[in-house]
Amino acid sequence: MAKPTILIIEDEPAIADAICYALETDGFMTQCLHSGEQAVALLATGNFALAILDIGLPDINGIELCKQLRQSCDVPIIFLTARDAEIDRVVGLEVGADDYVTKPFSPRELTARVKAVLRRSQPRQNDVPGNSAFTIDADRYQAGFCGRPLELSRYEFLLLQVFLRRPGQVFSREQLMELVWDAPEASMDRTVDAHIKNLRAKLRAINSDLDPIVTHRGLGYSLREDE
């Protein structure tokens, strides 16, 4: 599974380090900025799953920065605020932030908030039970793997859809041919094999560590279930 990257914009190095450490311990990747200067450009790259934004930055007020960010991207934002005043909270959420944490906070609490915000902000694709690396939108013929879109041919998409409906189940080539192809072809074993091979190559191009399609010698193929 590709690790989501969190951008931390916080000018106090001790706090920034503590946040990075807590997030990385929990399986995230992090990048830190100590001022707001490059934040808009960095977040526009689309490489970040979420931003943690300190309100008191040396060069720009975090609320102002949030407003600027919201004009060009909809990445989830969690504010860090030093003042517990209600006004900060209200203002913080009105400018389009997703949550806030008041200093001092425990890094563990912040990590929990990050996870909650990420869960809430998932795209409306159906999460696939049994193999969390995949998303599939059957109506649009769109599939995703490790958070990245998959460019699949019609048959590759339909094969993947069959696997995802029953993670762990072994399908023979005959079954796959029947479930996926409109008109069974003469050389069906090799047709299935060829499309499985292409599908695997596309999955490997996104994440070469996972090999979610399992070959069962003499039987067929299945999709690996989450451990």
Q: CB of residue 126 vs Ca ion: minimum separation in angstroms?
A: 40
- Which is it for the CA torsion 19, 20, 23, 26, positive or negative? negative
Q: CA 83 to CA 55: how far, in whole Å?
A: 10
List the beta strands (DSSP E) in the chain: 5-9, 29-33, 50-54, 77-81, 99-102, 126-127, 134-137, 142-145, 148-150, 213-216, 220-223
Nearest residue to Ca ion, by Cβ distance, number only: 56
Q: CB of residue 87 vs Ca ion: minimum separation in angstroms?
A: 18
Binding residue (CB under 5 A) for Ca ion from 11, 17, 26, 189: 11
**Judged by CB under 5 A, which stretch of 3-11, 59-67, 156-164, 218-226 contacts Ca ion?**
3-11
Q: CB of residue 78 vs Ca ion: minimum separation in angstroms?
A: 14
Question: Between 36 and 220, whose beta carbon lies closer to Ca ion?
Answer: 36
Question: Between 110 and 133, whose beta carbon lies closer to Ca ion?
Answer: 110
Question: Between 53 and 164, whose beta carbon lies closer to Ca ion?
Answer: 53
What are the angstrom distances between the C-alpha of 147 and each of 118, 187, 204? 13, 35, 14
Q: CA 125 to CA 119: how far, in whole Å?
A: 12
DSSP 42: H
Binding residue (CB under 5 A) for Ca ion from 19, 54, 66, 100: 54
DSSP 209: S
Question: Between 30 and 222, whose beta carbon lies closer to Ca ion?
Answer: 30
Q: CA 75 to CA 165: how far, in whole Å?
A: 31
Note whether 56 binds Ca ion by CB under 5 A: yes
Q: CB of residue 81 vs Ca ion: minimum separation in angstroms?
A: 10
Three-state SS for 104?
coil
Q: CB of residue 20 vs Ca ion: minimum separation in angstroms?
A: 15
Question: Between 11 and 225, whose beta carbon lies closer to Ca ion?
Answer: 11
Q: CB of residue 57 vs Ca ion: minimum separation in angstroms?
A: 6
Residues within the interface to Ca ion (CB under 5 A)? 11, 54, 56
